[in-house]
Amino acid sequence: MLAAFPHAMPLEGLIGGLMIGVAAAVMLLGLGRIAGVSGLAARATGIADSGTPRGIAIAFIIGVPLGALLISLITGGIETRFPPSVIPLVIGGLLVGYGTRLGSGCTSGHGVCGMSRLSPRSLIATAIFMASGFVTVALMRAGGFL
């Protein structure tokens, strides 16, 4: 089936996914917290007043680029193909920031942690943001932006 998608990286995806899942499990079983990046980022920056202790949030958020850098160094560089203009980054960032606070989570909190807990709230949120992403990209394609 995957022969139809020669650009896919199923093995790297699975292994990287396992690393993400183990990291989230360490946060849950080690510290009793959800590894939701949007919530931890809001806490680390002081945008959110309550939730995970600030030091823990800051340590986690600092770790994310460090771990990515380590993989980039070990593997001789990883691909990061950003949109060619800053406009989609800014519009996208604003919507992701506002939306994840309003909806209490993102791909990690609702997607990885909430769905594996079978939380109905997270299942609904993930279904909606996935659908919303599919529609957005389809519209961008139809409009000639991709």
Please, what is the end-to-end C-alpha distance for the chain in angstroms? 25
> Percentages helix, strand, coil for the chain, rounded to the nearest 5?
70, 0, 30
Q: Is residue 54 at the binding interface for other proteins, with CB under 8 A as the rule? A: no
How far apart are the C-alpha atoms of 121 and 139, rounded to whole Å? 27
- Give the shortest CB-108-to-other proteins separation in angstroms: 5
Collapsing DSSP to helix, strand or coil, 53 comes out as: coil
Number of residues that bind other proteins (CB under 8 A): 112
- Give the shortest CB-143-to-other proteins separation in angstroms: 11
Range 92-121, binding other proteins (CB under 8 A): 92-104, 106-108, 110-117, 119-121
Range 55-74, binding other proteins (CB under 8 A): 55-57, 59-72
